[in-house]
Copies of this chain bind each other. A is one copy, B any other.
Amino acid sequence: MSSIAARLIPTWLRQYQLATLPTDVIAGLVVGVLVIPQSLGYAVLAGLPPVYGLYAAIVPVIVYAWLGSSNVQAVGPVAITAIMTASSLLPYADKGAEQYALMASLLAFMVGALLWVAGRLKLGWIMQFISRGVSAGFVSGAAVLIFVSQLKYLTAIPVAGSSLIGYLSSLQMYMRQLHPLTLLIGVIAFALLVANRYASKWVWRTWLSASSAKWAERLFPLILLGVAIILSMALHWSALGVATIGSIPQGLPSFTLPHLPDVQEALKLLPTAGLMALIVFVSSSSVASTYARLRGEHFDANRELTGLGLANLSGGLFQSFAVAGGFSRTAINVDSGAKTPMASLVTVVVMIAALIAFGNALAPLPYALLGATIMASIIGLIDIDTLKSAWQRDRLDAASFIAAFAGVLIFGLNTGLVIGLMVSFASLIWQSSKPHVAIVGQLGGTGHFRNINRHDVVTFDNLLLLRIDESLFFGNSESVHLRILKALQQYPEARELILIMSAVNHIDLTAQEMLSTLNKELAQQHKRLHFSFVKGPVMDVIGHTPLITELSGQVYLSTLDAVNSLTAR
């Protein structure tokens, strides 16, 4: 095999063993069939015609199968990217369906481009950017928004907005447009789906074995969809005013260059695309890394970035909206026996078959049923358990949860996520804003120096020895500054201040400027500033800066050197 072909064909395919083909095919078929209702629903949630849910499950899935990091992760349209798409494209909602769909693909393209660039820059570590509390709070808030947004399909009331208040006030405003039959269909479907999901141990397990019950539960939404289509045709629901999805355009998604409105419009979408890229990456890598560990495989975050990036980038060129790895579809994939990305390719075949074959078969399906499907599946994302355990185990993370959750409901998805992140970073700053700074003295006649409050040590009248026990950065430099000034006030006799830097791994610009200011302040009082035990990498950074070149004192290799040199004079 030539090296070019070798590079184009992924390792899993070159080493593919035919023995795994049957289980891969079965898993692919199962996932393909089961996720159809969801896919249609998420497209609607994103503000697109239902068929776009199938489009989003074709090109990105093929590309991810080729290039993604995970062997078993099933990517596709997910609830969070769908609602983020809807909320960021709200300003374009009245510009016509075609224009809107082009914007949704542009957004997917931008998300993909950002992910791909991040992968090339090896920013895989950024998956650790979001704390558990923030991500659970954000997803829970988004789930509530999604739930409320779907009420429009259950009531036929045109609900719109990007925050909870927006939704609820428009719901109230148009109350008179409530369509009773639509509501009845939606409520019954919702009740059945919730019962299927949360009461399955009583419903299915009374007749079936545990594993059959699991499959019955998974198949039920699809059966309900079929029943609804039959009822809708038989009872002429459409004629009675129930909104149905109508005929689905046949055929595959076509190559369509994303529409670039004007530079300013595209730039406005960029921060949103950045947040979406972050969410796509964090949620997908959480799925992929969990399954990689379960399967004893290595998870490569940078490859996940590249794979997701190219999946969304190419999806954006083929009428897809933004996709991510989904926990539930990946679970079904693995449970059904998927071993390699071949399963995902089979899923794509199912989607293509659906697109070609369904045509008008789905036309009578009421939107209320898609809404109910999403509402029933979204409840599980409201993560009260994490809030509870955060409250018991880490109050600061509980605060981040609440900030992200309330932020999403009050200010919308993007602002809510940013507020949650800010609170989680504020907690970090708070925790390290008061680092330990110890006044130390010499232990006996040794070269060891210890905290004067804990050990019986020798001190020197003209010397003040301070050990800084944490890296210095903007989040603690002012606190450390004040702590040092206070120690100098306590020991007014000391004319030489020695800062012991053995525990300092970084000194950022803010802290360097603080130390320079301290140096000048001391010089005015005819005192000198010295450093000891500066680590090599730190010295490499600060060695040629004004902090060292303008230092009134010296840099000593060890504290003992400093003390010997400064007491000898």
Contacts and interface: CB of A to CB of B under 8 A. Distances in A.
A393 interface: yes
A392 interface: yes
A243 B473 CA distance: 49
Contact of A271 (B293, B419, B542, B546): B419
Given A169-B264, A263-B165, A424-B474, A510 B270 contact: no
Contacts of A433: 125, 128
A396 B474 CA distance: 12
Contacts of A478: 127-128, 289
Contact of A509 (B264, B393, B508, B512): B393
Contact of A128 (B268, B422, B476): B476
Contacts of A378: none
Interface stretch (A130-138, A150-158, A311-319): A130-138
Contacts of A430: 125
Contacts of A397: 508-510
A474 B128 contact: yes
A291 to B, nearest CB: 13
Interface string A385-409: 0100110111011100000000000
Q: Which of A129, A166, A394, A410 has the most CB of B within 10 A?
A: A394
Chain A interface helix/strand/loop/mixed: helix
A277 B156 CA distance: 42
Interface in A163-213: 163, 165-166, 169
A513 interface: yes
Given A127-B478, A474-B128, A508-B394, A264 B429 contact: no
A257 interface: no
26 contacts: A125-B429, A125-B433, A126-B429, A128-B474, A128-B475, A128-B476, A129-B425, A129-B429, A131-B473, A132-B509, A163-B267, A165-B263, A165-B267, A268-B411, A271-B411, A271-B418, A386-B509, A390-B509, A393-B509, A393-B541, A393-B545, A418-B418, A421-B425, A428-B428, A428-B475, A431-B471
A479 interface: yes
A271 B415 contact: yes
A125 B433 CA distance: 7
Contacts of A339: none
| Of listed A482, A508, A545, residue having the most chain B CB within 10 A | A508
B426 A264 contact: no
B132 A428 contact: no
A131 B508 contact: yes
A396 B512 CA distance: 13
A563 to B, nearest CB: 26
A426 B129 contact: yes
A513 B393 CA distance: 10
Given A125-B433, A128-B478, A512 B393 contact: yes
B424 A421 contact: no
A485 interface: yes
A390 B541 CA distance: 11
Nearest to A397: B509
A493 B469 CA distance: 37
A429 B428 CA distance: 10
Interface in A441-487: 471, 473-479, 482, 485
A485 B393 contact: no
B394 A541 contact: yes
Nearest to A435: B505
A488 to B, nearest CB: 11
A303 interface: no
Given A128-B478, A392-B545, 7 more contacts: A127-B478, A268-B411, A271-B415, A390-B509, A393-B542, A394-B541, A421-B425
A263 to B, nearest CB: 7
A508 B264 contact: no
A163 to B, nearest CB: 8
Contacts of A527: none
A479 B128 contact: yes
A130 B474 contact: yes
A561 interface: no
A437 to B, nearest CB: 15
Contacts of A507: 394
Contacts of A550: none
Contacts of A513: 132
A477 B132 CA distance: 11
Given A126-B426, A133-B509, A411 B485 contact: no
A351 to B, nearest CB: 33
Given A264-B166, A393-B509, A509-B397, A477 B128 contact: yes
A183 B131 CA distance: 53
Contacts of A424: 474
A357 to B, nearest CB: 43
Interface string A261-278: 001100110110000000
Interface in A115-163: 125-133, 163
Interface in A258-317: 263-264, 267-268, 270-271, 289, 293, 299
